[in-house]
Amino acid sequence: MLSRIRLNTDAGSQYTSIRYTDTLEIEGLIPSIGSVGDAYDNAAAETVMGLFKNEAVAKDSPFRNGALKTESDVVDVVFEWVHWYNNARLHSSLDHQTPEEFEQTYYDEISGSLPDAAAHKTAA
């Protein structure tokens, strides 16, 4: 088991799938593999985890109903926060839309779909 863990966490080993690599290439992105002691590799994940700790796990969090005494308490907080983060959180850099709304608008635009209001208008 220990050797398996080392294999999976070794930045020098092949750990990404072909599909992941192809998707990055299609989008014109370059994969990020940091060196030891390099904060850039996990910066985005660490930012989200920091938000999670401050918004969901903190004692005064609106996502908590008292102490987190059981695994079930933690699971409930995690699911509620992740749902809020992806479906209800308004984000200023997304024109004050939720991430879900912004993503749906993006895919509607690239697929040629019209927003509901425009789709239901009749020609003059």
Report pLDDT digits (tens) over 78-120. Answer: 999 999 988 899 988 899 999 989 999 999 988 875 556 555 5
- Residue 52 confidence (pLDDT) above 70: yes
- Residue 60 confidence (pLDDT) above 50: yes
Tokens of 35: 């060196």
Q: Are 98 and 87 in contact (CB under 8 A)?
A: yes
Model pLDDT, residue 79: 94
Average pLDDT over residues 34-55: 73
Kindly state whether residue 121 falls inside one of the protein's structural domains: no
Kindly state whether residue 98 falls inside one of the protein's structural domains: no
Kindly state whether residue 12 falls inside one of the protein's structural domains: yes
CA 102 to chain CA mean position, Å: 13
Domain interval for residue 42: 2-89
Kindly state whether residue 101 falls inside one of the protein's structural domains: no
Q: Please state the pTM of the whole predicted model.
A: 0.51
Total domains in the fold of the chain? 1
Model pLDDT, residue 8: 45
Kindly state whether residue 79 falls inside one of the protein's structural domains: yes
Q: Which residue has the tokens 């700790």?
A: 53
Helix or strand run (H / E) with residue 71: helix 71-87
- Residue 91: strand pairing partners: 97
